[in-house]
Copies of this chain bind each other. A is one copy, B any other.
Amino acid sequence: MHSQSSEKASPIQTAESFDVVTLGETMLRFTPPSRNRLEQADHLQVHIGGSESNTAVGLARLGLKTTWLSRLPSTALGRMVSGELARYGVDVSHVVWTDNARLGLYFLEEAGPPRGSQVIYDRSDSAISRMTPDELPRSLFEANKLRLFHTTGITLALSESTRETALLAAKLAKAAGALISFDINYRSKLWSPAAAAQHCQSMLQLADLIFIPDRDIQTLFQLPAVDEPERALETLAGRWPHATWVMTRGRTGSSAIAHGTFYVEGIFASDEVGRLGGGDAFSAGFLARYLESHGDVASSLRWGAATSALKYSIPGDLPLMTRAEVEALVKNNSPSTNISR
């Protein structure tokens, strides 16, 4: 249903299908304007951010039918999250609404060097941390109802029940014939490297596509990814040979290994105004192209690079580029400025 007070209406309902189903937490983000410190601010700008929903927005902007599964409080705050996602084309009709829970929040101070950007998370005990496997909308996970399921390591880290929910979703999706995409996305504030390495095992076994930032390869698998990306990927592919591994390397670019073949891509230069969400935008670009090209890893990396570069030029966490902008950048490697006509 399209709102949390849904029992009343809609007598006639038919099952929907989606290109991509995502599952994860989305938080409200509060940011002081114009690089002020939080202590200087008399008002804060409101955005939303969450790894899976960032990717979902990117996929929707690129033309894929995408839904986001989560659990939200039945308050104006919960509606701010679902409304913002719907505004940018993500289906939120399968969100679970609850009366007694809080929404995760974070406060972001954007800064240039030598002052570093600062985040204060306030996400403990959020509504999704109590999500349970039985709250999954089973009808979404039937055959031909979805092409790909995407989640991240953050969701696995939130709580045991959230982790079980995500794992069940992946299994159901797999059984329905869909691809499984998993972004490891290690968060040291949520769990230890050891816990992450252990609890990601089942998902890594299920995943067809695995995204990993190079820093996490070192942290979780003790592989020197920064200096020897090819070797690190080969080792990972040796352990999980069924999966395509995609490694994002910050301002260095990205690499991938699939069925023994190694791929490399650079980055597109960007005048950054919003660094958060770049990795999620990369996943969106990669996945959109991957689904459309039926598995062309090289061009998917390039789409990932273009999408994340465009995202960096946009305030907030969401990759609000258009498909035309990605296509122009991939094709021309130049901005599609449109001023002087």
Q: Bound state CA distance, A121 and B101, in angstroms?
A: 11
Chain B residues contacting A24 (CB-CB under 8 Å) are none
A87 contact from B86, B114, B324, Cβ within 8 A: B86
The answer on a CB contact under 8 Å between A310 and B17 is no
Interface size on A, residues (CB 8 A): 107
A35-B315 contact, Cβ under 8 Å, with A83-B88, A339-B275: yes
Q: Mark A1-37, 1 if CB is under 8 A from B, else 0.
A: 1110111111111111101000000000010011111
Contact with B along A155-189 (1 / 0, CB 8 A): 00000000000000000000000000000000111
Given known A-B contacts A2-B89, A115-B314, A323-B5, A10 and B42 have beta carbons under 8 A apart: no
Q: How many Å lie between the Cα of A60 and that of B288 in the bound state?
A: 30
What distance in Å separates the Cβ of A17 from its nearest Cβ neighbour in chain B? Answer: 4
State in angstroms the CA–CA spacing of A82 and B300 once bound together: 29
How many Å from the CB of A327 to the closest CB on chain B?
10
Interface residue ranges of A108-134 to B (CB < 8 Å):
108-109, 111-122, 124-125
**Does any Cβ of B come within 8 Å of A228's Cβ?**
no
The segment from A230-238, A254-262, A264-272 that touches chain B is A264-272
CB within 8 Å of B: which residues of A?
A: 1-3, 5-17, 19, 30, 33-46, 60-61, 63-65, 75-77, 79-80, 83-84, 86-89, 91, 102-103, 105, 107-109, 111-122, 124-125, 144-145, 147, 187-189, 268-271, 273, 275-276, 288, 291-292, 306, 309-310, 313-316, 320-325, 329, 334-341
